[in-house]
Structure 1
Amino acid sequence: MAPYPCPNCKRLLHFEARICPACAFTLGYDPASDGFLFLGDGATTWRDIDGQPHDVVVCANNDAHGVCNWLVGTGENTPYCRACRHNRTIPDLSVPSVPPRWAKIEAAKRRMFHTLIRLGLPLETKAEERDKIQGLAFDFLYDPSAEEQGNAQVTTGHDGGVVTLNLIEADDAERERMRRAMGEPYRTLLGHFRHEVGHHYWARLVATDPAELAAFRDLFGDETVDYAQALQAHYGAGGDKVWTDDYVSFYATAHPWEDFAETFAHYLHMVDTLATIGGFDMRMAPFPGPEGHPGAAVGFDPYTAPTERLAAQMVPWSFALNTVNRSMGQPDLYPFRLSPAITAKIDYVNRLVAKAAGRAEAGAVPEHACSA
């Protein structure tokens, strides 16, 4: 995402900020205005960058547990912010290791929700669920068996609009161990959320629309293939499948549902990465040589842009940022490639999102375009 300034002193902030590191004023992110608000010394009214007051209060999860920096409008019928109101189950906070892990999970979830809101996607809670409108909820569960014996009893996944996350995924060492064991190039909390919410939006936007379902099957395949058998066959293949040209990841080859969820996650990876690059007005000089590039700059809004613009920027920027990471001895930022077949699937997701957001097609909202 693009960086946000402190509404008081204009210093750029990390999205998780609660106190400005420069002016020390209390901060909160207001999803309704898509910006940070501040409380002056001794003040009780939240104000924006223009000094205008806003009728908001801090999220109840900040008051009770200190795990959220979002604000809630006083006219809303819930004490929870746009992200926290979707929680159905929070973990057992009496276990000493749980609160800091839950805080990491909530931080990743808020980043995902920021993207979903910015894209204009529907976000119903389970309380708002109705015929053909699936609500979204989260169960964050502490799993003693996984913690003490390495034998997980809680499976991270999605079922009927409920995303379950085993709290052990917030343990960096354990998550890295699982990444290596699964042969994955990338495994993060944010990646989990983006993948699992992809399953939700398949059920919310594709399964209930015959035309979308037909278009989905043309690209991703027949989702009525037995899921359990497909997963068993996938893991039995042991990585022998050829997947890099047609699928964004090896896991995407398992079943059309997983292909869609992986593609949806990568679409979110792309738009947020490019929004950050554009927000800092970063520019890249032309690449020399026959495989060169004429230069790159994100002078548009990635959240509403057509796929060809996203892909044209993501390719050179991912190479450059992967190189930066390698300079620090870190894994590649984006260890994937965008073939024509993968880009076609991302284009399907982009058009699906645009339709759900009320745009005729991706790129149809020029008034939101970023200057560059």
Structure 2
Amino acid sequence: MKVFQCGNCNHPLYFENNVCENCGHSCGYRENDRKMLTFDSSSSVMISDREKIEYKYCKNKAHGVCNWVLEKTSKKEYCPACQLNRTIPNLSDKENFLKWKNLEVAKHRLIYQLLKIGLDLPSKMSSDEGLCFDFIAKGGNPNIMTGHANGVITILLREADSVLREQIRKQLQEPYRTLIGHLRHEVGHYFWERLVLRKKNVLAEFREIFGDERVSYTEALRSYYAKGAPQDWSDSYISKYATSHPWEDWAETWAHYLHIMDMVETAHFFRLKVNPNKNTKNLKTRVSFDPYIKEDFQAIVNTCVPLSFAVNSINRAMGIPDVYPFVINMGVVKKMKFIHNILLSKR
């Protein structure tokens, strides 16, 4: 995520801000050039401070879950992120509303990233090839599960309950479980069908690296949950779950690829440098590039490793779990390079 500033007073802004905490001007994110615009909140019209163009907020601003803006003349009522919502929970339930708000924060960050990569995000509501999100309270239907099917990403509302999510994480012995992680994983399944399945040469290479996805998915998952991951899983996979089937290996690797890219991009905009007072070369780095335009993926990995070690160390000093509790082995690097090379052609 890039660093944003108020157009009126240059105070730093978070991606989710809708008001500058320093000068009080309203602010909103413009997707087409990834800029945060600011507006005089005392005015009855939204005229941008720097460009003097009139805008309007996405309709979901009324719910306090979106700060993206559209030009006043736009016929659209929802921003590119909110246009992808097919189902939202009953907002008269206060708990549902708070959970949906947390999901929207994660989803907007996901959409920012996918659009920066250059991926097309048609809405499922207007195209069979499109994508949409169903944020659902499970209720009495035991068949509804978090997952992806034919462009529909379903996220159970309970995943936005931080206490329950931590309980599930411990139960499944996962080192990491977050909303952004869920969304990145599930959207990976959607893009596998569009970036890999439909291109014979890409599909052939995928099978060489990840395995043959034509093996029974149902049987593979049944075997995984019965036997668990092989003992040497960490030699070639980013997580235990990635060993269950090539589709899940792709989705897990895709999610971690997006994790790494976001981490390095954020560090780049903050001009971070890791230079410990130890003579250890592999702990030193200076984040001097935007990873989304970097062809050499190994350079991204070489930057990410010391960066994540430093941030993890700070978290441990505060008694907080590691930000990135994973080891990127050479087998995973090969898989991520495959994804990186596919996506370079989209930028």
Question: When the two structures are superposed, what TM-score results if normalisation uses the length of structure 2?
Answer: 0.95
In 1: Cα distance, 2:90 partner to 2:293 partner: 39
Given the superposition, is the C-alpha separation of residues 31 and 220 from structure 1 closer, same or farther in structure 2, using an over 3 Å criterion? Answer: same
- Distance (whole Å) between structure 2 residues aligned to residue 327 and residue 89 of structure 1: 41
Which of residues 186, 193, 203 in structure 2 aligns to 1:196?
186
Equivalent residue, structure 2, for 1:165: 155
SS at structure 2 position matched to 1:38: strand
- Matched residue, 2:39: 39
What is the aligned counterpart of 1:91 among 89, 92, 95?
Answer: 89
- The alignment status of 1:137 with 2:138, answered yes or no, reads no
Change (3 A) 1:239 1:145: farther
1:156 alignment partner AA: T
**Which residue is 2:15 aligned to?**
15
The answer to whether the aligner puts 1:58 opposite 2:57 as a matched pair is yes
Q: 1:54 to 1:349 in 2, by over 3 A?
A: farther
Q: C-alpha separation between the residues in 2 aligned to 1:42 and 1:336?
A: 49
Separation (CA, whole Å) in 2 of partners of 1:243 and 1:285: 32
SS in 2 for 1:97: helix
Counting matched residue pairs gives 345
CA distance in 2, matches of 1:345, 1:270: 13
More moved, 275-284 vs 171-180: 275-284
Aligned-pair CA distance for 1:286:
5.2
**CA 1:344–1:76 in structure 2 vs 1: closer, same or farther (change >3 Å)?**
farther
Q: Which residue is equivalent to 1:224?
A: 214
Provide the C-alpha distance between the structure 1 equivalents of 2:242 and 2:100, rounded to a whole number of angstroms.
Answer: 28
Q: Does residue 80 in structure 1 map to residue 78 in structure 2?
A: yes
2:29/2:69 contact within 8 Å kept: yes
Matches within 5 A, 1:1-372: 1-40=1-40, 41-47=42-48, 51-63=50-62, 65-129=63-127, 134-145=129-140, 153-285=143-275, 288-289=278-279, 292-293=281-282, 295-305=284-294, 306-357=296-347
**Aligned partner of 2:239: which letter?**
S
Residue aligned with 1:2, SS: coil
4+ residue runs of structure 1 moved beyond 6 angstroms? none
State the distance in 2 between where 1:59 and 1:208 align: 34
Q: List per-residue Cα deviations over 1:116-169 (Å, max 9, x = no partner).
A: 111111111114436xxx2111000012349xxxxx542000001100000000
Q: Which residue of structure 2 aligns with residue 369 of structure 1?
A: none
Residues 201, 75 of structure 1: alpha-carbon distance in 2 compared, 3 angstrom cutoff: farther
Using the alignment, how far apart are the partners of 1:260 and 1:119 within structure 2?
Answer: 18
Does the CA-based 8 Å contact 1:122-1:356 persist in structure 2? no
* Residue segments in structure 2 that go unaligned for 5+ positions in a row: none
Distance across 1 between alignment mates of 2:248 and 2:47? 43
Q: Is the 8 A contact 1:286 1:292 kept in 2?
A: no
Which AA in structure 2 matches 1:117?
A: L
CA distance 1:239–1:253, shift in 2 (3 Å)? closer
Q: 1:57 to 1:330 in 2, by over 3 A?
A: same
Residues 40-96 of structure 1: per-residue CA shift (max 9 Å, x gap) = 121513315xx1133431111113x22111112345442110101011111111222
Q: Write the distance in 2 (CA, Å) between the matches of 1:7 and 1:162.
A: 37
Q: For residue 182 of structure 1, what is the amino acid of its counterpart?
A: L
Aligned 8 A contact 1:286 1:296 in 2: no
Comparing 315-324 with 76-85, greater Cα deviation is found at 76-85
Q: Distance in 1 between matches of 2:311 and 2:95?
A: 33
Question: How does the TM-score come out when normalised to structure 1?
Answer: 0.89
Q: Distance in 1 between matches of 2:313 and 2:283?
A: 18
Residue 255 of structure 2 aligns with an amino acid whose one-letter code is A
- Indicate the percent of aligned positions where both proteins have the same amino acid: 40
| Structure 1 pair 139–294 and aligned structure 2 pair: CA distance change class (3 A) | closer
Range 300-309 or range 260-269, more displaced: 300-309
